[in-house]
Amino acid sequence: MRFTSREDIEVPIDHVFAEISDFMKFERAALRRGAEIRRTRERATPGIGMGWHARFTLRGKPREVDTEVTAYDPPNGFAIAARSAAFGGQIGVDLVALSRGRTRMTVELVIKPQTLSARLLVQSLKLARGNLTKRFRKRIADFAAKVEDGYTSKV
């Protein structure tokens, strides 16, 4: 199952990349929501090979996910692969400078079931695809708006 979203942000590409690759900020956000996050591969600077192990509760069940940065190309984007017992997936973020102060951000999320029960779940999710796509795009649009607001308050 694949979800994509594209947002134009009135912010220079370097600032957008700095915001989307601030992995420490995303770690803190996950911790605030009750997840347990542990880095599996430390690096002095962000890049390919960084990894995390996350434990959290989703729909009343404990879940575990291992993630790893598989592509890292500043300021053009990155990709992160994820794997759990039932699912595999990847999230990719691509940035394109439209002008000095405008950036197009494209986010793609791919979910691949690994087990029969996961395949059945994905089939049921396909029935709600329109609603899920709308929610995904709204989350990306909200993030883009926060990046814009953060930039304008600094300038």
Query: Hey, what domains does the chain have and what are their CATH numbers?
Result: 2-154 (3.30.530.20)
| Nearest-10 crossing angle of helices 129-154, 13-20 | 120
Alpha carbon dihedral 149, 26, 3, 86, in 10-degree steps, equals -170
| Alpha helices (H) along 61-128 | 116-127
**Banded model confidence at residue 85, pLDDT cuts 50, 70, 90:** very high
* pLDDT at res. 134: 97
pLDDT score of 93 more than 90: yes
Residue 97 pairs in a beta bridge with 103
Least confident of 67-71, 86-90, 107-111, 123-127: 123-127
pTM, to two decimals = 0.92
Give the pLDDT confidence score for residue 22 in this predicted structure.
Answer: 94
Residue 131 pLDDT exceeds 80: yes
pLDDT at 119: 95
Burial grade of 81 (CB within 10 A; 0-12, 13-18, 19 or more)? middle
